[in-house]
Amino acid sequence: MNSLITVRVDSKTKKAAQKTLGELGLDLSSGVKMFLEQVVKTESIPFIAATRQGHKLRHWKLYKKEIEWAKKHGKRYETAEEMFADIFKK
């Protein structure tokens, strides 16, 4: 028995996904089915979720926390030379 799934997604993403899947010979419904089948088969999300910079999302919360701390409490330097002089104090 088939079930109907409704997914809310912005129209730009939907059109881009339809274009990409169409180039692969698939329609949107088939692409979503393939995704769900892989979720079941692998018992996981079938891709690595990462930021544009390549950071895995599970680490991103930690990075954001550290960045915010550094913005509030970290040292500031006017030049790279000033920073290196402070780091490599002789």
Least confident of 13-17, 52-56, 63-67: 52-56
Rounded CA separation 31/24 (Å) = 10
Domains of the chain by residue range: 1-46, 48-90
Closest alpha carbon to 32 in 13, 50, 54, 56: 13
pLDDT by residue (tens digit) across 8-36? Answer: 999 999 999 999 999 999 999 999 999 99
Beta bridge partners of 50: 56
